[in-house]
Amino acid sequence: MNILLHGITILPEFHTYIQQLIQVFENQGQAVWVTESLHPSIRDTGSRQSISILPEDNTGMETMDFVISIGGDGTLLDTISRVAAREVPVLGINTGRMGFLATIAKEEIALAAEDLMAGRYALEDRSLVCLESSIPLFDGLNFGLNEFTIHKRDTSSMITVHTYIDGDYLNSYWSDGLIVSTPTGSTGYSLSCGGPLISPIARNFVITPVSPHNLNVRPIVVSDDSEITFKIEGRSEKFLVSLDSRSTPIDASVDLKIKKEKFVAKLVKFPNYSFFDTLRQKLNWGFDMRN
């Protein structure tokens, strides 16, 4: 079995836990790989195990049985972009802050690795948002796990985003921008802009305006079988579009269409995982903050 570890930088306080993770896999006779970006941190842990390095162009990703994302939710989003259509199962280990996606705490790393080797897990399919545009964008990485966003750029003036659902006119959003979120992304940027929380296995998109001028405009939930198109207007000649953490400027002549991607992200979940438990913990539901 081939297991790939991916991350950016591992802080010294996590070195011991990562060594435990590698040791569990190697004791089971599994081949451990790391990405080039993570290799310096693995070397700094003092690990003497023989570890192979996956090239930065991700050649050989299709031979991996699991990818372990080590970091925060941003690292897991980057991991999904590397896996792409190969649909290799991804497990998120949280060395960041929020951990809506990377849910395994440092104290649970060794146990999670043992459960993974014993087959005590399930795979949860997460839908992705797909961008089609009239010009190439994002070097072909035209999908995202969390959201697609249109945003104003280099000006304090708002923009107008004319929005259509399956060709039918929905609304013209006078705002700082517009978010189209997956259910997974409903706990991200969309939530901070007043969007609803959606169960990650729901079949929906959430359209959420960013700082809308009209206060009666609210987020709307639509089927993820919908195709959403836009026409952008504004005083600036350039606008920003983003997929998760990847952003690029465009002008108003670029045609944009959002729909559900054909492939999915497969996240590893263990029997004790509950999305609703995570919500309560991360959002402090049920706690009286006055006490």
Tokens of 58: 């991700």
Superfamily holding 2-126+264-283: Probable inorganic polyphosphate/atp-NAD kinase; domain 1 (3.40.50.10330)
- 37: buried, middle or exposed (CB in 10 Å: 19+, 13-18, 0-12)? middle
Pairing of strands 143-144, 204-210: unpaired
pLDDT of res. 98 = 67
Residue closest to 30 by CA, chosen among 117, 100, 108, 89 = 117
Give the C-alpha separation, 82 to 73, whole Å.
Answer: 14
* Rg value, the chain, Cα: 20
pLDDT of res. 220 = 97
pLDDT of res. 23 = 87
Q: Would you give per-residue pLDDT tens digits along the chain (291 residues)?
A: 899 999 987 888 888 888 888 888 988 889 999 999 888 877 755 555 568 899 989 999 999 999 999 998 999 999 999 999 999 999 999 887 767 888 898 888 889 999 999 999 999 999 999 999 999 999 989 999 999 999 998 777 899 999 999 999 999 999 999 999 999 999 999 999 999 999 999 999 999 999 999 889 999 999 999 999 999 998 888 899 999 989 999 999 999 999 999 999 999 999 888 888 888 888 888 776 665
Query: What topology does CATH give the domain 129-260?
Result: Tumour Suppressor Smad4 (2.60.200)
Binding site listing: 73-74, 146-147, 176, 187-192
- 20: buried, middle or exposed (CB in 10 Å: 19+, 13-18, 0-12)? middle
What DSSP state is assigned to residue 253? T
Q: Is the dihedral of CA 80, 223, 209, 132 positive or negative?
A: positive
CB 189 within 8 A of CB 219: no
Strand partners, 91: 68
Give the C-alpha separation, 138 to 129, whole Å.
Answer: 14
CB 131 within 8 A of CB 138: yes
pLDDT of res. 290 = 64
Domain boundaries, the chain: 2-126+264-283, 129-260
pLDDT of res. 210 = 96
CA distances from 65 to 14, 31, 227 (A): 24, 10, 33
pLDDT of res. 172 = 97
Query: DSSP characters for 172-233?
Result: EEEESEEEEE-TGGGGTHHHHTTPPP--TT--EEEEEEES-SSTT---EEEETT--EEEEEE
pLDDT of res. 8 = 85
Binding site listing for NAD(+): 73-74, 146-147, 176, 187-192
Q: Which residues are catalytic?
A: 73
Give the C-alpha separation, 213 to 191, whole Å.
Answer: 18
pLDDT of res. 279 = 85
Give SS3 for 122.
strand
Give SS3 for 96.
coil
